[in-house]
A and B are shown apart, each in its own frame.
Chain A
Amino acid sequence: MSAPPEFREPEKYILDRPSAVRRIYHVLIGVCVLLGLADVADLIWHVYHKHGIYDVEYLPNFYGFYGLLGCIFLVLSAKQLRKVVMRDEDYYDNDVD
């Protein structure tokens, strides 16, 4: 192992600014909206010829909404799972009597 890490006041980077993080968030929302609109445009003008196997795939932004809701479900249910399966960090440390 290398020398133990030292603690010191870190330098300032762009990502240390809350405004920069907020901007990234807004850009992400913007890109998502565009991706969603691409599906609407495809429905009307067939801009990118979406092809799917199941009907549900032709719903505008099906993949986007599925991913969004899937992830929210994943995280919130995992959070509930913690109530059942989470223990102290040293839970198994004393498993010898």
Chain B
Amino acid sequence: MMWTELPPGLILLLGGVIAAVAPHHVRKGLMLVLPFVGFWQLIDVPNGDHAVVTLFGAEMVGSRIDSLSLVWGYIFYIAALVAGIYHLHVRDRMQDVAALTYMGSAIGAVFAGDLITLFIYWELTAVTSVFLIFANRTNASFRAGIRYLIVQIASGVLLLGGLIIHWRATGSVNFGNLGLDAPGAVLIFLGFGIKAAFPLLHNWLQDSYPQATVSGTVFLSSFTTKMAIYTLARGFPGAEELIWIGATMTAFPIFYAVIENDLRKVLAYSLNNQLGYMVVGVGIGTDLALNGAAAHAFTHILYKGLLFMSMGAVLYRVGTIKGSELGGLYKSMPWTTGFCIVGAASISAFPLFSGFISKSLIITAAAEEGYWFVWLILLFASAGVFHHSGIKIPYFAFFAWPHQAQKTCREAPLNMLVAMGIAAFFCIGVGIFPGYLYDILPYQTDFVPYTASHVVTQLQLLLFSALAFAWLMRTGLYPPELKSTVLDFDWIYRKALHRVWRGTVEWGSETSGALTGGMRGWVNAIIGFAGRLGRPDGLIGRTSTPGTGVLWLTAMLGLYLLVFAL
């Protein structure tokens, strides 16, 4: 009875609370055992709504178990276990607690049957996961963490605003198929969109993930964005806007992935691109497409986790993850190289690897529904994925002849290799026996991925892409990996707005010089005040207090919300 009524997310969340006071090996034990307990619960408890509470007239459903949420539930627990093994050697209470509570919140969100419960878990994922970034304990990671937190909290505030409007208008907080026309739905949609890294709302991802710890990035890459995909699939299946948003997402990050030097950032761009496929699948909204989105989320968590784990192992052993400083590591880290290649083949959708049997559902659905332009973009992005994730990542880390002496180091620690091995096993297993995955998808499917036609055309696409890479390399046309920062949308809030502010102050003081008398005094007074605000220790200028930033943002959005509601 208790077992059925226990919201799934609480298993890991409570584990995280215990971990806050427990010694090292108890914490590690929790991270290894609790995913099994959670998985067992999902198998044991029948489908339906459980843990229903009525609070202030709103019916809250803590545990909605159905065919859609189960796909995410299963893969989240598998990811929790794999990442937990990968993280085994790390002695850091902060990361252990953050990881457990973060994973628990994400699982809780997926099984939330109402918007209020969803909102609570939604915010919890933000405030817990940021410690995986802080845990790197550098100035850069601290600042990136603050930016991450502000964006994540903003997403939650939008969700909260939307849900209040929705509640007032309909009297229900049930989280089902909302559709964009429902009251408040646009705000909720944007809230989901931030975490799903929609174009222009995406930059928190590439900004923060490469700043997290070695295992922190592995945890992060699996949960937040896929939770957002789930909520889109639950709340907005068939919203046509998503098709175009998703298609844009598949295409534009890959240009950045080609020129980015930080290989974990390259993976963050490619993560963004893979989310695009899922968003397209949700937007098309047919049974085949939604199955595709779910299947792709499942396979993606495994191979993206695997790629992040392999790059994490390199960072851990070599101390850098910049393409311009790596190369030739296949000699020192042969196992890591092999696992990375499995991940690369999976994300590239090579036949017999997991990406092949999930991505094709979405691409086929796009073609069948007559979205020929989207279909062309998805094909282009598929070739591009192979190019930057399939070839660039393993090539520059493990093979490319580096300019300096080749680095030698030890192979990754055993626990990392075991974690990568498990993920690689799943990548290949799902690729060869897609039936096991298709059986747990939300809708019945008779899709057959392994037809001669499909295999041959996919191989044509991929091998000619490989040929393009090889040819560009041999002719020297391929842009070398360069030490650099690549500007993306975050430039707007990290530089441009800052400059506008400074420029305004300077312009103001020049103007004040031209004026005389009382006018001059007034202007000086205002500028002086503004200048004090804008100084590093001033009210607006200071950047190092997370609470204040978040508070201001909350207040601002709250005000906006009020105006909107009136």
Contacts and interface: CB of A to CB of B under 8 A. Distances in A.
B536 interface: yes
Interface in B336-387: 367-368, 372, 375, 379-380, 383-384, 386-387
The majority secondary structure among interface residues of chain B is: helix
Contact of B460 (A61, A78, A91): A61
Nearest to B405: A7
A28 B409 contact: no
Given A51-B451, A67-B464, A10 B408 contact: yes
Contacts of B259: 78-79, 81-82, 85-86
B460 A35 contact: yes
A67 B383 contact: yes
Given A10-B408, A78-B479, A51 B453 contact: yes
A4 B458 CA distance: 42
Contact of B485 (A63, A66, A88, A97): A88
A49 B453 CA distance: 6
Contacts of B470: 25, 28
Contact of A10 (B328, B387, B460, B482): B328
A40 interface: no
Given A85-B487, A95-B494, A68 B467 contact: yes
Contacts of A9: 405
Interface residues of A, number: 62
B383 A71 contact: yes
A77 B319 CA distance: 31
Contact of B498 (A69, A74, A95): A95
Contacts of A43: none
Given A11-B331, A63-B379, A67-B386, 8 more contacts: A5-B317, A61-B464, A63-B461, A67-B464, A74-B387, A75-B468, A81-B256, A86-B259
Interface of A: 1-2, 4-11, 13, 15, 25, 28-29, 31-32, 35-36, 38-39, 48-54, 57, 61-72, 74-79, 81-82, 84-93, 95-97
Interface of B: 140, 254-256, 258-259, 316-319, 328, 330-331, 367-368, 372, 375, 379-380, 383-384, 386-387, 399, 404-410, 451-453, 456-472, 474, 477-479, 482-488, 494-495, 498, 502, 536, 541, 543
